Structure 1
Amino acid sequence: MFSVIFTINLLIICTLFLFKMGLKIVLLNVVYLTFILSVSQCLVNNLKADDCGSTHGTIINVDVSGCDGEDICPLKIGTNVTMTATFTSDVKSRTLTAAVYGKVGIFKRKFKLPDSNACDTGVACPISPKETYNYTLTIFIAENYPKIAVDVELHLIDDTNVDVICVLIPSHIVGDLPTVVQII
C-alpha cells in the first residue's frame, strides 16, 4: 500500500514539474510508466492462479487466505481457507453453480461443498454480461487430507452447463511441523 501511495505522489510531483516545463510528450511517458509500475506492484501481491478454461467470463482477481503472492499456495490442515474470485460474465444466466476439484497428477476428485449454489453465497443472480461479481467460498482443510501437492480447480458454471470461469490454483496441503522432544 505504501508503494502505491508513494508512486501516486511521485506521479503528481513529476506531472506538475513537467507541465510547468512544457514537456507534454515526456509528461505522457512519465504518466504511462508510473501507471505501469503501480499496476505491476498491485499484481505482485496477488496469488498466482491460472485460467483453466473460462468460456463465458473473465477472471479479474483471485485471492486465497494465507496465500500472499506465492507460486504454490499452502493450505494448512485444520484451518478454514477462504477463496474469493472476482470476475466478469460474458453471458446472462439465471443460475451459477460452483464446483471445486482437487487434482493430483491425472486423478481429479470433486469436493462436496456446503452450498454449490453461488447465487445463495454472495453472487447476485441472474448474472449479466459485462458486470463484475465476487464469489467467496470457505473450505475446511480436514485432518485426514494427505500432505501433498494438489491443483485446486474452482469452476463457476452457468445455466447452460458451461464454465463462466475456471480457476486453477497450484497448492500444497501442509500441516504443523512435528514437535521435537528433547531427551534429558
Structure 2
Amino acid sequence: MEFRVVVCVFSLLLLLGFSQAEQVKFIDCGSSVGHVIEVDINPCPSQPCQLHKGQSYAVNVTFSSGTDSQTSKAVVHGVIAGVPVPFAIPNDDGCKSGIQCPIHKQKSYSYVTQLPVKAEYPPIRLVVEWELRDESSKDLFCIKFPVQIVS
C-alpha cells in the first residue's frame, strides 16, 4: 500500500513539472544531419517565452540523428536585428548534456541543458538560434525560436 502512495505522489509531481514546459514553436534553420522532433523550454507557459533576467531555463531538444558522431558541440546565438550575437551557455559539450556519446545514425536523443539569462542583458525581443554540431561541424540540429527578455 505504501509503495502505491509513493508512486502516485511521484507521478503527480512529474505531471506538475511537465505542465510548466511548453512545446516551443521553432523553425528548422538547417539541420543537415539530423531531424528535430520536439523543443521544450521550462518554464515557458506562453510564447514567445518570457525569459526573466537572472534566471535559468531548462531546454530540451529531442532529435534523431542521420549520422554517426563521436562528439557534439552546441553553438548558441541571439539574433538581434538580423545580427547573430554569441550567447554563453554553461556547457557546450552535447555529450555532457543528456546525450550518450557516441551518437549513432537512426537513433533519437534528448539534448538537455540550461539557458542562463544574465541580469545585465537588456529587455528585448530576439530570436535564439541553437545549433548542435557533430564531429564534422555539421548540424545535428539547428533551430530558431523567438524569446523576450524581461526584468
Same-fold call, TM > 0.5? yes
Q: Does 2:136 correspond to 1:169?
A: no
Q: Which runs of 5+ in 1 are unaligned?
A: 1-44, 176-184
1:107-158: CA deviation from partner (whole Å, max 9, x where unpaired): 1111222221111221011111110100111122111101001111110000
Q: CA deviation at 1:171?
A: 0.6
Cα–Cα, structure 1 residues 129 and 91, in superposed 2: closer, same or farther, change >3 Å? same
Within 5 Å, give how 1:1-184 maps onto structure 2: 46-68=23-45, 70=47, 72-175=48-151
Deviation larger for 148-157 or 45-54: 45-54
More helix by share: 1
Cα–Cα, structure 1 residues 69 and 48, in superposed 2: closer, same or farther, change >3 Å? farther
Q: Which runs of 5+ in 2 are unaligned?
A: 1-21
Number of aligned residues? 130
Q: Distance in 2 between matches of 1:142 and 1:46?
A: 23
Q: Distance in 2 between matches of 1:117 and 1:49?
A: 22
Larger Rg belongs to = 1
More strand by share: 2
Q: Distance in 1 between matches of 2:105 and 2:143?
A: 19
CA contact (8 A) 2:89 2:116 kept: no
Q: Which has the higher contact order (CA 8 A, sep 6+)?
A: 2
How well do the aligned residues superpose, as a CA RMSD in angstroms? Answer: 1.2
CA contact (8 A) 2:60 2:111 kept: yes
Q: CA deviation at 1:69?
A: 5.1
